[in-house]
Amino acid sequence: MTTELSHHPLVQHYLTTIRDVATEAPAFRRACSGMTQVLVAEAAKLLEVDSVRVQTPLEETEGARIAGSVVFVPILRAGLGMLDHAMATIPGSSVGYIGLERDEATAVASCYYAKMPVLDEASQVYVLDPMLATGGSAVQCVDQLKQRGAKKLCMICIIAAPEGIACLEAAHPDVKILAGKVDRQLNEQKYILPGLGDFGDRLFNT
């Protein structure tokens, strides 16, 4: 598995806003949208293209169009904060949903909802989860996607913990990870340090 960090200046700028405890929900959402667009643009380097001919106002020339389907799968609920901006970055993409709820006592996630478009070997699937913490949710999500035929998978995260990366790598070494930042560690409550708090609560102001 390949874990790639984004070193884009905008990612660093937006991540600082997202981390800041003083950032209120509207500014938090704006920073999330900006960071998502940059990360998705970087993850789009995985896409294959077909050569086409296109007619400009002056003459015909060569062009390229994305080959195969592109599917975004946000892990509910926090992943929803990344979805609209991911779809805007790659128009024509499809969406699947997976709901995973973490037991706060055990930190183990259970699946309560899954709805996917048709997936095949040519589909490029991007899992959207702002925080890769323990890795349990990511593993369950990838399990579901592979059972439905997905072969080309990439996890896009705002931040990740080393423990989560190791967990996903052990279960699915073929899955790529693109993260804005790999943080230091998890605390006893399985929150990422230094982290950004509860992403879903801050995103939805709950």
* Secondary structure string (H, E, C) spanning 42-58: HHHHHCCEEEEEEECCC
pTM of this structure: 0.92
The catalytically annotated residue of 19, 77, 102, 148 is 102
- Residue 113 has which token pair? 């909802």
Contacts of 106 (CB under 8 A, 6+ apart): none
Q: In this predicted structure, what is the pLDDT of residue 111?
A: 82
pLDDT of residue 68: 87
Burial class (CB in 10 A: 0-12, 13-18, 19+), 158: buried
What number does CATH give the domain 3-204? 3.40.50.2020
What is residue 106's predicted lDDT score, i.e. its pLDDT?
67
Which sequence spans correspond to the domains of the chain? Answer: 3-204
Tens place of pLDDT per residue across the chain (206 aa): 688 899 999 999 999 999 999 999 999 999 999 999 999 999 999 999 999 999 999 999 999 999 889 999 999 888 999 999 999 999 899 999 999 876 666 666 778 888 999 998 899 999 999 999 999 999 999 999 999 999 999 999 999 999 999 999 999 999 999 999 999 999 998 999 999 999 989 999 88
201 is catalytic: yes
Q: At what angle do helices 25-43 and 9-19 cross, to 10 degrees?
A: 150
Res 183: pLDDT? 97
Residue 206 has a pLDDT of 87
Q: What is the pLDDT of residue 107?
A: 61
Measured in whole angstroms, the distance separating CA 117 from the mean position of its chain's CA atoms is 17
For residues 133 and 186, is the Cβ–Cβ distance under 8 A? yes
CA separation for the pair 123, 148 (Å, rounded): 11
198 is catalytic: yes
The question of whether 30 is a catalytic residue gets the answer no
Confidence (pLDDT) at 1: 61
Strand residue runs (E) in 26-103: 49-55, 60-66, 70-76, 94-95, 97-102
Q: Please report the pLDDT score of residue 3 as a whole number.
A: 87
Among the listed residues 106, 143, 174, 184, the single catalytic one is 106
